[in-house]
């Protein structure tokens, strides 16, 4: 199964990516930077350019997958409330 993992390069997400790949799944993760893309590629995951604030990229990533695991979060705590709003279902 192909699984779309948001936050795939983060602390929790990268552990999930490894577990999924080791279990034989294909993994795709969004990357907003070249460094994130390189990290995903090094983990044998497919790179999907985009980020949490780009609903169209999230829609296309989820549409191309059989499952989704959401671990992404913007850790800029000076904007905590706004970052939490990104996860509201009505926004996407």
pLDDT digit string, tens, across residues 15-27: 999 999 999 999 9
| pTM for the whole structure | 0.87
- Sign, CA torsion 53/57/60/62: negative
Distance CA 65, CA 44 (A): 16
pLDDT at site 55: 86
pLDDT at site 76: 77
pLDDT digit string, tens, across residues 48-80: 999 888 889 999 999 999 999 999 887 777 888
Report CA-CA distances (Å) from 92 to 8, 19, 40, 41.
19, 28, 24, 27
DSSP letter string, 49-76: E--TT-HHHHHHHHHT-SEEEE------
pLDDT at site 89: 64
């Amino acid at each position: 199964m192909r699984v779309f993992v948001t936050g795939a390069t983060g602390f929790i997400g990268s552990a999930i990516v490894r577990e999924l790949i080791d279990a034989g799944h294909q993994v795709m993760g969004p990357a907003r930077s070249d460094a994130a893309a390189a990290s995903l590629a090094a983990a044998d995951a497919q790179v999907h350019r985009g980020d949490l604030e780009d609903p169209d990229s999230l829609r296309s990533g989820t549409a191309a997958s059989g499952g989704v695991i959401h671990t992404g979060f913007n850790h800029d705590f000076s904007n905590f409330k706004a970052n939490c709003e990104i996860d509201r279902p009505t926004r996407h």
